[in-house]
Each structure stands twice: as structure tokens, then as C-alpha cells.
Amino acid sequence: MAPPTELLARPERGSARGSRAMGRLVAVGLLGIALALLGERLLALRNRLKASREVESVDLPHCHLIKGIEAGSEDIDILPNGLAFFSVGLKFPGLHSFAPDKPGGILMMDLKEEKPRARELRISRGFDLASFNPHGISTFIDNDDTVYLFVVNHPEFKNTVEIFKFEEAENSLLHLKTVKHELLPSVNDITAVGPAHFYATNDHYFSDPFLKYLETYLNLHWANVVYYSPNEVKVVAEGFDSANGINISPDDKYIYVADILAHEIHVLEKHTNMNLTQLKVLELDTLVDNLSIDPSSGDIWVGCHPNGQKLFVYDPNNPPSSEVLRIQNILSEKPTVTTVYANNGSVLQGSSVASVYDGKLLIGTLYHRALYCEL
């Protein structure tokens, strides 16, 4: 017969075993819930990336690749006189690059020339060219006809906005100012509304790469639009999945914002205090990147990514495709959306912008070539 102390101890050991078993059951249950949540988030991310989508080719008859652009032309902006600016050589951690060791730059093309060609613009001394990593761009013409070029820059993968004065006679850019601000942690694109005033999109709330990935994976919708002036900086629109391209209507009444992972273009009314109020959302079936406005018609031209997974997981045997949309009468109940160009990557990979001028179409890409077409 066991001693009384042992008899008393046995129920305690059984109770402990039961507690441990219950703890393990709870842990397994929580792990199952976590795995289910991760699986659901992964499936949702694939849907947001349009990971299974393929495009049917829509060709344009009079196109050629632009010589001198080999490693991306992420954004393009065209002045009323036909001078087009190209932002080239963008690099990001994890993003493919055909020229990983070459700094970025700004190219210019005169679309009024019979055979336009791209030329690199000189940038004034004192500006750090070695770390120049240009992203979205925008131009502003002041009352005295001074042309300002605004460039989103990621030196060493940080976030700044560079303001230049364009000196046409010298084909050069004079650097005027570098803008940094805590409300600009992950700047993607910009639309200038004054000589030192702009709206900018933050495609993420965080600036840290891991937190950006987590933010995207969890679909937090924390991206926003910021208004900047020398006297005031403020968030004027928020709740985007990943705010990307931004532009302004020819009458300066509306701001257009592309939400790339939500496949949407948001139309926001601009007020005198520079705040924005959302009017409508246009839903599309593609990842919308940069937005360009035809000043004569108000039509929106959009560089799009039909399949975002191919864009970020680069495979030369199955490259990212390209797509250009034209949106007419976006303020109407039923805007007209036309696919102007589409390619499976055999000619152009990862289209990010499409800009028009006098019957000419320029299509830029995130990290590939650029296309010149006559419509």
C-alpha cells in the first residue's frame, strides 16, 4: 500500500497533465486559426495582384522602342510645348533591375521634332547624382513661364521630393530644394500645384521594408495622400490599399488617385483650402499605376500591370505584361474605358505610364524599355 502522501499526490499529477493537455489544445487551435488567417491573406494578396491574369495583345501599328532607355522609365510628364520628361532607372529592394549599378536620371524628348530622341538632362553641381533614384515626376509652369520639375527621389531607399528649375537653353536642371517630412514616409507619385506646392501619394504608411510588406500582406488600407506647401503639410485623403499615381484635371478642380492593389481610380474634389473630398471610385480589372491627363480632352491615360505577381517575381521566360487604358468622361455615370495597347511582355514589360501629345503616345515601364507610338 502506498504511503498516504503518494495517494494524495496522484490527483495533483493528473490535474497537471490535464492542464498541459488543455494548453496544448489551445495552442494547436490558435496555430490553426493563425494558419487559416495567413492562408486567407495569401489568397487575397494573389487576387489583389491578379496573379492568374493573362492579356490578349492589342497592337498599335506605328511604334518603336526608344533608344537610350534600357532600365525603366517609371513616369513621364509632357509640357504644353511638347517637351517630355522621363524618370529613368528606378530601383527598390527586391525589384528587378536591368542596370542595378547605374544611378537614375531624367531624360527629355522633344515631340515636335520629326524624329524625336531621348537626351539626358544635366543636373546642377552639388546635387548627389550617385544616389539619384527617381520615381514619380510632375511639372509646374509659373506665371512668369518658369518651369519647375518635381521628382520623387529614393536616395539609399529613403524618401525625398526634389524640386528643380528647368533651364531649356542649357538642357539642364537647376536643383532648388530637397523636401523631407514625417508625413512623406513612402512617397510614390506627385502632382505639382505651385512652385513649391504639391500633392503626393504614400503607397505605404511605413517606411521600413519589412513593415511595408506586413502592411501589404495584411491589407491594412493605411496609404494616403498628403498636401505639401512651405507653410502647411497635411493628410488630405486616406484609406487606400496602396495609393500610387496621382494627377489633376485640366480645370484644376479634381484630383485623380490610382489605388494600384485595389484596381481603382478615385476622383476627389479639390477645395480652396487644398483639402480633398471623394466624389466617386472607378473600378477596373487591372493594377493601375501612373495617371496622365490629355489637356485637350481631359481623358485619363493609365499605365497598368495586368499581372502584379509577374512584376515583382521576375522570370525572363514569363515576363510581366503591359497594358494601357484610356478613360473618357470619368465624371459621368458610365465612363468609357478603352484598352489602347496590351502586350504579353515580348515587346514591353511592366508598363507604368502612358502619356499623349498631339497624336503621339509614350509608354514607360517600371524597369524595362519605353515605347514611342503614333496614334
30-69 pLDDT tens trace: 665 666 667 777 889 999 999 999 999 999 999 999 999 9
Under 8 Å CB-to-CB from 344, ≥6 apart: which residues? 54, 55, 57, 319, 321
Over residues 215-234, the pLDDT tens digits come to 999 999 999 999 999 999 99
Over residues 74-106, the pLDDT tens digits come to 999 999 999 999 999 999 888 999 999 999 999
Is 135 known to be catalytic?
A: yes
How far is residue 222's CA from residue 3's CA, in Å, rounded to a whole number?
Answer: 66
Q: Once rounded to an integer, what is the mean pLDDT over residues 262-280?
A: 98
Contact 60, 361 (CB under 8 A): yes
pLDDT score recorded for residue 3:
46
Over residues 157-212, the pLDDT tens digits come to 999 999 999 999 999 999 999 999 999 999 999 999 999 999 999 999 999 999 99
Contact 362, 76 (CB under 8 A): yes
How far is residue 195's CA from residue 90's CA, in Å, rounded to a whole number?
Answer: 25
pLDDT score recorded for residue 13:
59
Angle (CA) 103-107-110 rounded to 5° is 175
pLDDT beyond 90 at 15: no
The binding site comprises: 74-75, 137, 188-189, 244, 289-290
314 class by beta-carbon count within 10 Å (0-12 exposed, 13-18 middle, 19+ buried)? middle
pLDDT score recorded for residue 80:
97
pLDDT score recorded for residue 9:
47
From the candidates 96, 135, 204, 368, which is the catalytic residue?
A: 135
The share of the chain scoring above pLDDT 90, in percent, equals: 88
Comparing CA positions, the residue from 251, 252, 365, 254 lying closest to residue 303 is 365
Q: Confidence band (pLDDT; 50, 70, 90) for 6?
A: very low
pLDDT score recorded for residue 93:
85
Q: Rounded to two decimals, what is the model's pTM?
A: 0.91
pLDDT beyond 60 at 141: yes
pLDDT beyond 90 at 5: no
| Helical axes 209-218 vs 4-48, angle rounded to 10° | 90
For 9, 23, 93, 112, 205, the CA distances from 15, given in Å and listed in that order, are 10, 12, 53, 87, 49
Question: 45-374 in CATH: which number?
Answer: 2.120.10.30
Amino acid sitting at position 48: R
Q: Confidence band (pLDDT; 50, 70, 90) for 237?
A: very high
Q: Confidence band (pLDDT; 50, 70, 90) for 21?
A: low
The binding site for Ca(2+) comprises: 74-75, 137, 188-189, 244, 289-290
Over residues 288-308, the pLDDT tens digits come to 999 999 999 999 999 999 999
Q: How many CB atoms lie within 10 A of CB 288?
A: 26
Under 8 Å CB-to-CB from 121, ≥6 apart: which residues? 85, 105, 106, 107, 108, 166, 171, 172, 173
pLDDT score recorded for residue 25:
66
Higher pLDDT, 35 or 253: 253
Q: Confidence band (pLDDT; 50, 70, 90) for 8?
A: very low
Over residues 348-375, the pLDDT tens digits come to 999 999 999 999 999 999 999 999 999 9
pLDDT score recorded for residue 40:
78
pLDDT beyond 80 at 23: no
Higher pLDDT, 375 or 13: 375
Tell me the CB-side half-sphere exposure of residue 69, using CA atoms within 13 A. 34
